[in-house]
Structure 1
């Protein structure tokens, strides 16, 4: 009986936490367009496995070492540049939200244009952003510019 109560308690706690996380800033629940939502769902998975180790799950980066993506002026002002940075990486100094960073970002040549589009759709539609779908054809164009 104690085991059953403990199991039920754990299930309720997990359910409550999952409901709360849907309301978080990294939620994609506000996206209404089906294709955009599909891209964002896949993008979140790809972001978690390729980007969040440095940029953090909540996009806040690592203080003065790795720039944030959440509310990042540098990212938001140029989607093409963001696509190229994801694919090719970057070196050198940049300023994000008034803070200078000079940490190399490794290239991700294994990511396909559609995977980059999915990551971008995710990061451009969470943390208070609402840029809509970033398609694979746009990313291919960005990468070839």
Structure 2
């Protein structure tokens, strides 16, 4: 049996050439593997999911690789409502450079470098960082370029 921990956090990122944006990190640790999803805090779909998780006090996650799939239900009982201060930033469309910025953050190694275990006595073996692509962001994914390399839903780096 794997130990599971989950958390939602804010990863503030100020973009140098445009307005500031907030990136929500959704973190799940299963054993020694920690998964991060970087999400657009201005996306109403992200807030709908957050509200559902709060109500149910769980976060359902499907993890898959090749032909293997695991279903995980993590407990979610936030001690504060700190994220709610960012609800006012919801807008109908993402900032034009959001996906490029968040993909650069995902590829930069900063998340992996700062990651610490959420499970007492369990060392991190691996940190996997993904971009959470909601339905409003899907149409932009095919056009993304990071570090000169195109990113697609099935390309490298992984975008989910």
TM-score w.r.t. the length of structure 2 is 0.27
* Bigger Rg over Cα: 1
Richer in helix (by share) = 1
| TM score, norm. by length of structure 1 | 0.29
